[in-house]
Each structure stands twice: as structure tokens, then as C-alpha cells.
């Protein structure tokens, strides 16, 4: 018997749970470096690094995220019977910390984090159930300058991490609900349209609008939904004929935000997207998503969430974003192929040269060059330094101190 | 930038999907050629033929930028895609049907009910609003046999003409929904390839609308 037949029914296959990943030496290092680049950028912009728990009480999470996201949590019971969950995102945790421990300010507070988040996805769906997220939260600033700072920082961090050809889509969480208000829809029809939009079902949006007496300008915008994208000029185009104050206010905010992003010198990567569909219970103002042509999923997303902290007892405006490290890594691999891993030199020795070899490795490591020293003697009586592959440098006994020569020969880019 | 990758559903919708792409001026694809090749390039664009249930998988995960698939497949799928347009063809209905001589057929709903279906998600949603003790039995084909063999009391299945139901002595009890072919798109592709995806959406919509108008006239 071979293959599947060789396994008795019910035999345990000692492997990983579906949706979880082992990161071996190269990818694990690149993933960590990518996270480091993100955090370095966040810190360079004055965002203090903090850590929140992997587990939160379900009540805490439920204060922040809606039912659909809650149902995707890994849940379990604490020893006192209380329900706990593995966090599915970390903004709620940061909001809890600020509202309960940092509520006296001074504001604004700039915080950043990186850590695993877990989602209980369907089996064999090809989706990650554990992924790494790095994010920033800017709490206590209500102005659009704070939103612009977050968008610019997200773009800067991705670029610092080497993620190329990004595109930022900026929308406003109040535009579509405001549009529905000013369209004069019945509450039931309004909910139907919002629900269809949330499902991204534009066919249902259309049929929900058909039966209503929505005003022409609003109907036109709602039906043009996926094409409401472009530069600053689309704001004027959209504003024509709109009656309600609410959508106009959203458009004005986006116009101001565009000018701020222009001052940040990133409008060449920004599209305004009036049809952006985001979680309307959570976001209250400008929102954004970051894309690249190398990924079918958003690499990052964020926005203003002014009501979240009040659910933890502190009335504070806030804005922030998260970057999906694994998706960024996927997109880089797709573009460039698996990048080379850092070179590790190998120092081998023979006879009485062990001490000399160790001295050489100390010198190399002091220079920041990764190296190993053979545990047993070998070779032909000299200390040798070799890198992965065929390249190696032979150093005679009288040259043992010549660390610089070894580095220059084997790690050209290090000096 | 590369062209679009488009997922087409094998099976009953396939010929009509190729026909609509041709009529809309997007691509002239010979359906017969897909018997020999699974993927066909047309200009910069690539068209792949996959099982209908796999279309949302390819599109959500970014393997394809957009795809054509029946709404009945989307009812069952938990994949997150944008549904851009109703393409009008492939019209069929999801109905609850029971043997002609059953109590259910004469309008009496029993307290408990065994339902055989290829659409378990839709079945749960359909019965969620009714206070019945329902056991959903998921089958992969020929569900009409389930009542004949006593496996189930009724079926929830797709019907276009009603002929298969009638041939198996089943009558329609209730309608759960109407399905037509839809154009779906990947979230990121809709943003990063907005012009390309938008062009295919506009062309297919226009052609589908023209056909509906002609059909109605």
C-alpha cells in the first residue's frame, strides 16, 4: 500500500492546522524585516511602539467590531466561564488601552503595534487564519491633518519596506449614507441599499433603487458607484445636483484632505474613491485602502473612527490604519520572486587553527557579518572562509587578522 | 500592465457566456477550443474555463480579475467579490418541490422536514424564517431521486423549465429565488484595473440590456 491507502482511517496526520503557516528560514526573516521596516518608519514619525494581548474578553471585542467579524473569532472559555477570544484585529485593544489608561493625555497620542491576528476561516479555503498586522493609531486629533498624516505614513512605511507600485484609494464613510439620506429614501429602502452595498452586490443596489423614488442626482451617483474614482476633479462632478448637506460635507472634507495629501507630496499615488465600501458602523470619516497590482487583496486599510473610544468611556476622536504584513510579503514575492537571504559565511579550520578561526569570526561578527565557525576540524590546515555557493577565500596564517579582506571578498555590499 | 484574467463557468452557462463576450465585442472565443485548452489568450487578456463553483474562488483570491457565474453559485459561496452586473442569461429558479401525492404538495407543512439539496446554504437561509424542524441533506447531483427513494421528503433545487421536476413526479411548493448570470470582480482588481474591469462591465451590461429589450419586444 502506498499514499493515502497506507494511512488507517482516522489516523492522525501530525501536521499544522489548516490556514496556519510555518515560515522557514528565508521567508521568516524577510517577514520579520518587513515588519521591522514598518515599525521603524512608524517610530520615525513619532508613533510609540506598544504591545497588546493576543487574547481579549469577548465583551471588549464586541464593543468595537460588528457581528460578522465577531462570528469569525476563535472563541473559548476562561476558567470563570467568561468568554475570551483570540484578537481578530488590534485597533480595539489599542482603543481600550487609551480609553482606560492614557485618557489624561497629553493629546494627540501616537501609538503603533505589530502582532498576530486570528480569524476562524472556513477550512481549505486557502485563506490565512493567522496573519501578521502592523498598525498605527492617532488618538485625540479630530482634524483632517491627522487623517492625511496616517495616509502618508502608511504609504511611507510600505515604500520603506520595499513594497512597490502602491495605490491609495481614499473615500469617506459618511458619503454614501449621507447620499441615501438626501435621496429621500424610506428607512427600509435605505437599509436595503446599504446592506447590498456592504455585500458589494451592485445588482441588488440597482434593483433596490428601482422601486424607490430616489432623486435623480443621488440615483445617478449610487448607480455609477464603482466608477466614482479619480483625482480632485471627481468631487466637483459628484457635487453637481446634490441637495443634502451631509454628502456635501463629506465631499468638502475630501477636498481638504486631497490638498493636505498634496502637501505630503503623495497625490501621485492617491485616488479618491467615492464608492469605497467600508464598515459603516465603525468608520465615521475619511477611510482608505492601499492596493498593488501584485495582490488581489488590500495591503492595508484605515480610517477615522471617532465613536469607538466612547464605547470604552473616553470621548476621543481617532484615526489609524493597519498594514497586512503577509499580503505585502506575498506581493513582493510575486513581483521579484523569492529574494535572496542574507549571506552567512562559513569559517572552517584545521589542526591548531581553531583559536585563529574563532578570532576571525569575532572580527567578522563585530563588522556585522553573519558567520559560523565549524565545530570540527577539516580542510587542509588553513583557516578558510566560504560563502554559500562556490565562492570562497583562502586566507593564509599570516593573513588571519585580515577581516576586511574576507569581508571585501565575500560580502561585496557590506563594506 | 498585463491584460485581464477572466474566469468563465463551464457547464450550462458556458456557451452563452462566450456568446455574450463575442456580441459585446470583448473577445471572440470558440467554445469548442476550450475542450482542448483550459486557457485561451485573446490580445492581452486571458480567459480560463473553470467549474462554476470555482469562479468566485478564482476571483476572490485574485487568480482572476473578474468572472462570469450564476447567482445560484454566489448564494452558496462565502467568497467576497464585487457583483457588478446582471447579464440576464442563464435564467433559472431555486424552488422547493415535493412528490405530487405528498401532504406538502397539498399545502400542509409538516412539523419536521428532510430536504435534499445541492444548495445547503440557501436551504438554511430559506428555512430560517419558517419555524420548521428541517434536516438539510447535501447531495451533489440528481436530487430528484431523494424523495423517490425515501431519502428526503422534498428537494430544494434549480429548475429552468420544470420538466425534470415533472418527470420525477415533483411539484413546486415555493420559490426561494431567481438566478441569472452575473459579472463579478476581485476587490483589488476593481481598484487597480478600474479602466479594464470597468470597460468589460460597461460592454457586457449594454449588450445584456439590449438583448433583454429585444427579448421583451
Chain B, nearest residue to A125 by Cα:
B57
CA angle B172, B177, B183 (to 5 degrees): 140
pLDDT, average across residues A387-406: 51
- For residue B122, the surrounding DSSP H or E stretch is helix B120-128
**8 A C-beta contact, residue A227 and residue B198:** yes
Residues of B with CB under 8 A from a CB of A: 1, 57, 60-63, 78, 80-86, 182, 186-194, 198, 201
Say whether pLDDT at A340 is over 70: no
What is the arithmetic mean of pLDDT over A220-249? 82
Helices then strands, counting H and E runs in chain A, come out as 14, 16
| pLDDT of the residue at A129 | 93
CA of A61, closest CA in chain B: separation in Å?
23
Fold that domain B92-177 belongs to in CATH: D-Maltodextrin-Binding Protein; domain 2 (3.40.190)
Per-10-residue mean pLDDT of chain B, 217 residues long, equals 92 94 92 87 94 96 96 94 94 95 88 94 90 91 93 94 91 94 95 91 91 63
Choose from A164, A167, A203, A292 for mutation: most chain B CBs within 10 A. Answer: A203
Q: Cα separation of A392 and A410, whole Å?
A: 7
Instruction: Report pLDDT for B145.
Output: 94
What is the rounded average pLDDT of the residues A226-242? 82
With bands split at pLDDT 50, 70 and 90, how would you rate the model's confidence at A352? confident
State how far the Cα of A119 lies from the Cα of A354, in Å rounded to an integer. 51
Answer yes or no: is pLDDT of A396 > 50: no
Whole-number pLDDT of residue A102: 94
Q: Do B5-90+180-216 and B92-177 share a fold?
A: yes
User: Tens digits of per-residue pLDDT, B92-103?
Assistant: 999 999 999 998
CA pair distance B4, A335, nearest whole angstrom? 17
Question: Is A184's pLDDT higher than 90?
Answer: no
Bridge partner residues of A310 (DSSP):
none
Q: Which residue in the set B61, B84, B201 is minimally distant from A296, CB to CB?
A: B61
With 0-12 / 13-18 / 19 or more C-beta atoms within 10 angstroms meaning exposed / middle / buried, residue A4 is: exposed
- Smallest Cβ–Cβ distance between A203 and the set B85, B191, B198 belongs to B85
Q: Which chain A residues touch B if contact means CB-CB below 8 Å?
A: 122, 125-126, 167, 169, 199-204, 206, 226-227, 229, 271, 273, 289, 291-293, 295-298
Fold of B5-90+180-216: D-Maltodextrin-Binding Protein; domain 2 (3.40.190)
| Subunit contact B62:A296, Cβ cutoff 8 A | yes
pLDDT of residue A226: 66
State yes or no: pLDDT of A410 exceeds 60. yes
pLDDT at residue A390, rounded to an integer: 35
Strands (E) located in A156-262: 166-172, 229-230
Predicted complex: ipTM over 0.95: no
> What does the pLDDT look like over A132-176, one tens digit per residue?
999 999 999 999 999 999 999 999 999 999 998 899 999 999 998
CATH number given to A18-172+278-341:
3.30.930.10
Residue A138 C-alpha cell reads as 492617532
In chain B, where are the structural domains located?
A: 5-90+180-216, 92-177
Asked if residue A187 has pLDDT above 80, the reply is yes
Residue whose cell numbers read 482608505: A288
Task: Specify the residue for cell string 481578530.
Answer: A88
Question: Of A89, A68, A65, A71, which is closest to residue A324 (Cα–Cα)?
Answer: A89
User: For A23-41, what is each residue's pLDDT tens digit?
Assistant: 988 889 899 999 999 999 9
Amino acid at each position: 500500500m502506498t499514499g493515502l491507502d497506507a494511512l488507517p482511517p482516522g489516523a492522525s496526520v501530525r501536521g499544522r492546522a489548516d490556514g496556519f503557516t510555518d515560515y522557514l528560514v528565508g521567508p521568516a526573516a524577510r517577514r520579520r524585516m518587513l515588519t521591522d521596516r514598518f515599525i521603524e518608519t512608524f517610530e520615525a514619525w513619532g508613533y510609540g511602539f506598544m504591545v497588546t494581548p493576543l487574547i481579549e474578553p469577548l465583551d471588549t471585542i464586541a464593543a468595537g467590531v460588528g457581528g460578522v467579524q465577531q462570528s469569525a473569532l476563535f472563541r473559548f472559555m476562561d476558567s470563570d466561564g467568561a468568554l475570551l477570544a483570540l484578537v481578530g484585529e488590534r485597533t480595539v485593544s489599542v482603543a481600550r488601552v487609551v480609553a482606560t489608561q492614557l485618557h489624561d493625555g497629553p493629546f494627540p497620542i501616537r501609538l503603533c503595534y505589530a502582532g498576530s491576528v486570528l480569524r476562524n476561516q472556513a477550512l481549505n479555503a486557502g485563506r490565512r487564519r493567522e496573519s501578521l498586522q502592523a498598525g498605527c493609531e492617532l488618538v485625540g486629533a479630530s482634524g483632517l491633518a491627522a487623517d492625511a498624516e496616517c495616509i502618508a505614513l502608511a504609504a511611507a512605511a510600505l515604500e520603506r519596506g520595499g513594497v512597490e507600485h502602491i495605490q491609495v484609494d481614499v473615500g469617506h464613510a459618511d458619503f454614501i449614507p449621507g447620499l441615501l439620506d438626501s435621496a429621500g429614501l424610506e428607512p427600509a429602502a435605505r437599509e436595503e441599499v446599504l446592506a447590498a452595498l456592504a455585500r458589494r452586490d451592485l445588482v441588488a443596489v440597482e434593483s433596490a433603487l428601482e422601486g424607490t423614488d430616489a432623486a435623480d442626482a443621488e440615483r445617478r451617483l449610487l448607480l455609477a458607484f464603482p466608477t466614482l474614482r479619480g483625482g480632485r476633479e471627481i468631487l466637483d462632478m459628484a457635487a453637481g445636483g446634490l441637495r443634502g448637506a451631509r454628502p456635501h460635507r463629506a465631499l468638502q472634507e475630501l477636498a481638504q484632505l486631497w490638498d493636505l495629501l498634496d502637501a505630503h507630496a503623495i497625490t501621485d499615488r492617491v485616488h479618491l474613491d467615492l464608492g469605497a465600501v467600508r464598515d459603516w458602523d465603525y468608520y465615521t470619516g475619511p477611510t482608505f485602502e492601499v492596493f498593488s497590482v501584485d495582490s488581489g487583496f488590500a495591503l492595508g486599510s484605515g480610517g477615522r473612527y471617532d465613536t469607538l473610544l466612547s464605547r470604552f468611556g473616553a470621548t476621543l476622536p481617532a484615526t489609524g490604519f493597519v498594514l497586512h504584513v503577509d499580503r505585502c510579503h506575498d506581493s513582493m514575492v510575486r513581483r521579484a520572486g523569492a529574494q535572496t537571504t542574507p549571506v552567512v559565511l562559513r569559517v572552517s579550520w584545521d589542526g591548531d587553527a581553531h583559536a585563529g578561526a574563532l578570532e576571525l569570526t569575532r572580527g567578522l561578527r563585530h563588522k556585522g557579518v553573519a558567520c559560523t565557525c565549524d565545530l570540527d576540524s577539516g580542510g587542509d590546515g588553513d583557516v578558510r572562509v566560504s560563502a554559500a555557493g562556490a565562492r570562497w577565500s583562502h586566507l593564509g596564517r599570516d593573513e588571519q587578522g585580515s577581516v576586511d579582506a574576507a569581508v571585501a571578498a565575500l560580502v561585496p555590499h557590506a563594506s | 500592465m498585463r491584460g485581464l484574467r477572466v474566469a468563465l463557468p463551464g457547464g450550462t452557462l458556458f456557451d452563452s457566456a462566450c456568446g455574450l463576450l463575442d456580441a459585446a465585442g470583448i473577445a471572440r472565443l470558440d467554445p469548442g477550443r476550450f475542450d482542448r485548452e483550459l486557457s485561451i489568450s485573446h490580445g492581452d487578456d486571458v480567459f480560463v474555463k473553470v467549474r462554476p463553483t470555482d469562479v468566485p474562488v478564482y476571483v476572490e483570491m485574485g487568480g482572476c480579475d473578474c468572472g462570469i457565474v450564476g447567482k445560484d453559485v454566489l448564494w452558496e459561496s462565502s467568497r467576497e467579490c464585487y457583483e457588478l452586473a446582471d447579464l440576464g442569461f442563464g435564467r433559472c429558479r431555486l424552488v422547493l418541490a415535493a412528490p405530487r401525492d405528498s401532504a406538502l404538495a397539498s399545502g400542509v407543512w409538516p412539523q419536521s422536514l428532510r430536504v435534499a439539496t445541492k444548495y445547503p446554504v440557501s436551504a438554511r437561509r430559506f428555512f430560517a424564517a419558517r419555524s420548521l424542524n428541517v434536516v438539510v441533506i447535501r447531495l451533489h447531483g440528481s436530487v430528484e431521486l431523494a424523495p423517490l427513494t425515501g431519502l428526503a421528503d422534498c428537494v430544494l433545487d434549480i429548475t429552468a423549465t420544470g420538466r425534470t421536476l415533472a418527470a420525477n413526479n415533483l411539484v413546486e411548493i415555493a420559490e426561494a429565488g431567481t438566478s441569472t448570470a452575473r459579472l463579478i470582480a476581485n476587490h483589488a482588481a476593481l481598484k487597480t484595473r478600474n479602466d479594464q474591469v470597468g470597460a468589460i462591465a460597461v460592454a457586457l451590461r449594454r449588450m445584456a440590456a439590449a438583448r433583454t429589450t429585444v427579448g421583451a419586444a
